[in-house]
Structure 1
Amino acid sequence: MEQTSGDASDIFDSIVLLDETLCQEGFKDGYRDGLKTGEEEGREVGLKMGFQVGEELGFYQGCVDVWNSLIQVDPGSFSSRLQKSIQQLRDLLKKYPLLDPENEHVQEMMDAMRLKFRIISANMGVKLEYKGYPKSSKQGMEDM
C-alpha cells in the first residue's frame, strides 16, 4: 500500500496538532499549579515578614512606653531634646500603616523609626539594638 502525499501531510498535521494540544494542556496545568503554589508560598512569606515587622514595632513601642513612664515619674530624667525625640518616635509608631501593608512609604517609615531609635539610644549613652526575637538555647546549640 502506497501512501499519497496527501495522506502523509494529514498524518503530520495530526501529529503537530496533538503536540500543540499537549503543550497547551501542560501549560494550563503548570500555570494552575504555579498559582496555587505561589499563593501558598506568598502567604507563608507574608505571615513571616508581617510577624517580624510587628515584633520590631512592638520592641520600639515598648521602649517608648518605658521612657515615657520614666518621664512621668521624673520629668527631669531626660533632657527636653531627648524627650522631643522620644515623642517623635512615638508619633512615627502611631503613623505606621499596620492595616495597609502595600503602602509605598512603609519602608521609609521603618527606616525613619530605626534612625530615630539609634539617635535616642546614642543620646542616652546606651547601646540598645533590636536584633529580632531571641532563639531558644536548644536552637542555639543546634546552630553550632
Structure 2
Amino acid sequence: MAGQQGAEDLFDSILFADERFRGEGYQEGFQRGTKRGLHNGWRHGASHGANLSSEISFYYGFAISWKCLLEHQSDDRSRKRLRALEALLNLTQKFPLDDPQSVKLQEDTEKLRAKFRQVCSMLNVPTDFKDYIRTAEGTSF
C-alpha cells in the first residue's frame, strides 16, 4: 500500500504542477505589475504636477510684471486692467498646490485659465501659455 500511495502522490504532484506553476506565475506577475503600475503612476503624477505648477508660476510672474508696468497709470482702462491682474494674482495665491487630490483642483485650474485669458484680452497679448514658453526656450544666454 505504501508504494501505491507514493506513486499516487507523485502522479498528483505531476498532474497539479501545471496548476501550481500557473498560480505562482500569476502571483509573481501580479506583484511585478503592481510595482510597475505604482512607479508609472508616480512618474505620471509628478510630471503633470510639475507642468501645472509651472503654468501657475508663469501666471503669477505674468501678473506681477504687468502690475508693475501699469500701477503708475491713472486712466480708467489701466485701473480696470489692474483690477483684473489683482484677481489673477489672488487666484494664483489661493490655488491648492499643497492638495493634489482636491476635488476643486480642475475647477480652480479652469477659473485661473479663464482669468488669464480675460487679462490677456484686456492687455491685447497672446493667450496661449505655450507661446510664452516657446519664446523663452528659444532664447540663449
The within-5 A match list for 1:36-47 is 36-47=35-46
Q: Which runs of 5+ in 2 are unaligned?
A: 1-6
For the 8 Å contact 1:70–1:77, the answer to whether it is kept is: no
Deviation at 1:79, TM superposition (A): 3.4
For the 8 Å contact 2:70–2:78, the answer to whether it is kept is: no
For the 8 Å contact 1:71–1:78, the answer to whether it is kept is: no
Aligned partner of residue 74 in structure 1, secondary structure = coil
Between 25-34 and 120-129, the greater mean CA deviation after superposition: 120-129
Deviation at 1:115, TM superposition (A): 0.9
The within-5 A match list for 1:1-144 is 11=11, 14=13, 17-76=16-75, 78-131=77-130, 133-134=133-134
Name the count of aligned residue pairs.
130
Q: Could you state the TM-score of these two structures normalised by the residue count of structure 1? A: 0.75
The structure with higher relative contact order (CA 8 Å, sep 6+) is: 1
> Using the alignment, how far apart are the partners of 2:92 and 2:38 within structure 1?
30
TM-superposition CA deviations, 1:55-98 (whole Å, max 9, x none): 11111011111122123333548433322221221111111111
> Using the alignment, how far apart are the partners of 1:52 and 1:92 within structure 2?
17
Q: Which runs of 5+ in 1 are unaligned?
A: 1-6, 138-144
Q: CA RMSD in A?
A: 2.6
> Using the alignment, how far apart are the partners of 1:136 and 1:86 within structure 2?
25
> Using the alignment, how far apart are the partners of 1:67 and 1:136 within structure 2?
21
For the 8 Å contact 2:91–2:112, the answer to whether it is kept is: yes
For the 8 Å contact 2:88–2:116, the answer to whether it is kept is: yes
For the 8 Å contact 1:82–1:123, the answer to whether it is kept is: yes
For the 8 Å contact 1:61–1:93, the answer to whether it is kept is: yes
Between 73-82 and 99-108, the greater mean CA deviation after superposition: 73-82
Deviation at 1:18, TM superposition (A): 2.4
> Using the alignment, how far apart are the partners of 2:127 and 2:78 within structure 1?
18
> Using the alignment, how far apart are the partners of 1:37 and 1:91 within structure 2?
39
